[in-house]
Amino acid sequence: MDAQASSLGTAAELSPYRLFSRAEWAALRADTPLTLGADDIAKLQSLNDPISLDEVVAIYLPLSRLLSLYVAATQGLFKATQRFLLAEDGKVPYIIGLAGSVSAGKSTTARVLKALLARWPNTPKVEIVTTDGFLLPNAELQRLGLMERKGFPESYDGAKLIRFLSAVKAGEHKVKAPIYSHLVYDIVPDQNIVIDRPDILIFEGLNVLQPPRLPRGGQPVPFVSDFFDFSIYLDAEESLLRTWYVKRFMRLRETAFRDPQSFFRKYAEIGDDEALATANGLWDRINLANLRENVLPTRPRANLILRKGADHRIEEVALRKL
């Protein structure tokens, strides 16, 4: 555990978090039933991000139980507020923000949570949206000289992202979000996914917990996290994140990179040594820089921190005190 992470556990009486070991957190499952099988789990995991049935039982079942309680409480508060205001607005989705580094396993975590939460009776409709769709198109990034800053805060269409979340949180029907293709490494023109008032929206991305720069004039600036009801940060040591990134890169050379349409096809055609050097260079130059400058500093803003160990297992859970 690095110094920053261990600081969560120092001076426990002053920390905003309550820490749980893996075993302590697993005990909070109580009688929550396991509704996923091994085949379901295999379909939910991402490339080079293994997850076992034991991980689901120990970590994600207790988390789904906690989130179900939070959602139910929020739904009750919303109804009470509606009665007070004599309003008849429709339901408002509960939004969960999911942050963390490249290669931390956010996509797998989002899909597992979606599968579990959709099985609770008060939240049958759960959707996932990633911030990738809100990246500026490659042509615009090239014009601005930002292709090597892709994934950094300045590479996103922040206004479009805020408008999307605002519409979802306002309970609007059929809100559109852009689609991003990891194959061509770009926004797919004229294609969208439609979010139609889900019970829960899981909003996943590198920088979803980062506040914008405050203006000098004092005018209001909305944060992405202003629209979240709950937030999760998926954490791991830098050395592990590098290892997982490089392993994924090398595996993609044998799979997706070989597709003729792949933006990264050139990396499938070079030797292993050159590919390894390329992967480490990309990590150091782009992903590690973004992690240190923008992603990791947002960790203390999360309601829940899931700390991964070397084998991708969650070893520690930090839950913000109410």
List C-alpha distances in Å: 96 to 59, 156, 201: 17, 20, 6
Q: What is the pLDDT of residue 7?
A: 45
For residue 7, how many other CB atoms are within 10 A of its CB? 12
Identify the CA nearest to 212 among candidates 224, 230, 197.
224
Task: List, for residues 140-180, the tens digit of each pLDDT value.
Answer: 999 999 999 999 999 999 999 999 999 999 999 999 999 99
Partners of 283 in the β-ladder: none
* Residue in the block written with tokens 């990246």: 135
Q: What is the pLDDT of residue 11?
A: 55
Left if phi > 0, otherwise alpha if psi is -120 to 50, otherwise beta: which for 89?
Answer: beta
Question: Maximum distance among all alpha carbons in the chain?
Answer: 68
Mean pLDDT rounded to a whole number for the chain? 91
Task: List, for residues 109-142, the tens digit of each pLDDT value.
Answer: 999 999 999 998 888 999 999 999 999 999 999 9
Q: What is the pLDDT of residue 13?
A: 66
Q: What is the pLDDT of residue 290?
A: 97
Q: What are phi and psi of 159, to 5 degrees?
A: -65, -40
Pairing of strands 230-235, 175-181: unpaired
Tell me which residues of the chain have a pLDDT lower than 50.
1-10
Q: What is the pLDDT of residue 14?
A: 77
Measured CA to CA, the distance from residue 256 to residue 185 in angstroms comes to 12
Q: What is the pLDDT of residue 33?
A: 84
